């Protein structure tokens, strides 16, 4: 499989290493400008890209939007976090003539975490829910795209749910409709996500901890290997395996 990388930050560097270990070829890297530390051909014109089977994007929403406005005709694996609604809308336009995949978290384990939350929430109807995510001190966006995904899943089930980001500014007791949203930044934490269900005299915690960024790199490659054989359409982990 010939892979074109969009961006060459920490994640796509991991993708390059893992892809080559798995026998794939990196045909180039798409960047806004030339850089000296990239060991692959660099392309700065989004409308004039090399031949490739798939493009993997771990970049920034601003760059991803430029890509999606271009004439790109390569199947897309988009793992950019931030501006979810805008990116999904643009991707669905591309999906008319390309297979495209989107996930704010390329770990399959996180996909399962979301499934467990979807299962648990209606069973724990009277429980208060608090969502917490932890990441390294260089992560810019907060809350993480994954935590937003968990909140959205809960909102689908609890129609009256409302996010609570800054409880310290309110001088009142907690409402049952509130879903606490907490972001922690520090050190080199790869990524941790937790859903806490607090009931009367008991709590249930559902948690996922990433121990290496390689799970996201390998996840993107796993998706790419499946996506290249798909017909045009918009894919997520929920429907990628559908025939």
Residues 67 and 126 in one domain: no
Cβ–Cβ < 8 Å for 77, 223: yes
Count the domains in the chain: 2
Q: Among all chains, which residue has been given the structure tokens 């996909």? A: 111
Clarify whether 231 is annotated catalytic: no
Collapsed DSSP state (helix, strand, coil) of residue 218: helix
State the DSSP H helix or E strand holding residue 169, giving kind and residue range, or none if neither.
none
Residues 119 and 91 in one domain: no
In a domain, 81, yes or no: yes
Catalytic choice (65, 84, 136, 139): 139
User: Which tens digits make up the pLDDT trace of 202-231?
Assistant: 999 999 999 988 999 999 999 999 999 999
Residues 100 and 112 in one domain: no
Q: What is the mean pLDDT of residues 105-130?
A: 94
Instruction: Print the domain residue range for 184.
Output: 108-210
Residues 101 and 59 in one domain: yes
Which whole-number Å values give the CA distances from 90 to 14, 63, 152, in the listed order?
Answer: 26, 13, 19
Residues 136 and 19 in one domain: no
Q: How many residues does the chain have?
A: 243
In a domain, 187, yes or no: yes
Cα distance between residue 188 and residue 164, in whole Å: 26
Alpha helices in 95-142 (DSSP H): 108-123
**Helix axes of 61-69 and 84-94: crossing angle, nearest 10 degrees:** 20
User: Which tens digits make up the pLDDT trace of 13-43?
Assistant: 999 999 999 999 999 999 988 877 889 999 9
Catalytic choice (111, 135, 149, 213): 135
In a domain, 241, yes or no: no
Q: Among all chains, which residue has been given the structure tokens 């790869």? A: 190
Clarify whether 139 is annotated catalytic: yes
Q: What is the mean pLDDT of residues 166-177?
A: 88
In a domain, 22, yes or no: yes
Q: Band the pLDDT of 242: cuts 50, 70, 90.
A: low
User: Which tens digits make up the pLDDT trace of 50-97?
Assistant: 889 999 999 888 989 998 998 888 999 999 887 888 999 999 999 999
- The percentage of residues in the chain with a pLDDT greater than 70, rounded to a whole number, is 99
Cβ–Cβ < 8 Å for 84, 104: yes
Query: pLDDT value at position 17?
Result: 94
Cα distance between residue 239 and residue 101, in whole Å: 10
Query: pLDDT value at position 155?
Result: 96
Cα distance between residue 139 and residue 118, in whole Å: 27
**Helix axes of 108-123 and 145-157: crossing angle, nearest 10 degrees:** 30
Give the Cβ contact number of residue 81 at 10 Å: 21
């Amino acid at each position: 499989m010939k892979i074109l990388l969009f961006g060459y930050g920490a994640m796509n560097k991991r993708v390059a290493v893992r892809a080559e270990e798995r026998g794939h070829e990196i045909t180039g890297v798409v960047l806004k400008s030339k850089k000296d530390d990239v060991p692959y051909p660099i392309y700065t014109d989004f409308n004039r890209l090399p031949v490739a089977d798939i493009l993997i994007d771990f970049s920034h929403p601003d760059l991803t939007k430029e890509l999606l406005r271009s004439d790109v005709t390569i199947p897309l694996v988009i793992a950019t976090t931030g501006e979810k609604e805008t990116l999904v809308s643009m991707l669905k336009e591309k999906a008319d003539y390309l297979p495209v995949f989107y996930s704010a978290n390329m770990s399959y384990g996180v996909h399962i975490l979301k499934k467990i939350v979807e299962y648990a929430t209606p069973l724990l109807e009277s429980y208060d829910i608090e969502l917490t995510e932890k990441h390294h001190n260089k992560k810019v966006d907060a809350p993480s795209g994954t935590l937003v995904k968990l909140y959205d899943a809960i909102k689908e089930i609890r129609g009256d749910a409302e996010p609570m980001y800054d409880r310290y500014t309110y001088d009142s007791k907690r409402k049952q409709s509130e879903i606490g949203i907490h972001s922690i930044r520090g050190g080199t934490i790869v990524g941790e996500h937790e859903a806490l269900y607090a009931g009367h005299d008991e709590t249930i915690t559902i948690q996922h901890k990433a121990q290496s960024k390689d799970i996201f790199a390998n996840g993107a490659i796993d998706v790419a290997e499946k996506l290249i054989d798909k017909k045009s359409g918009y894919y997520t982990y929920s429907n990628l395996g559908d025939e």
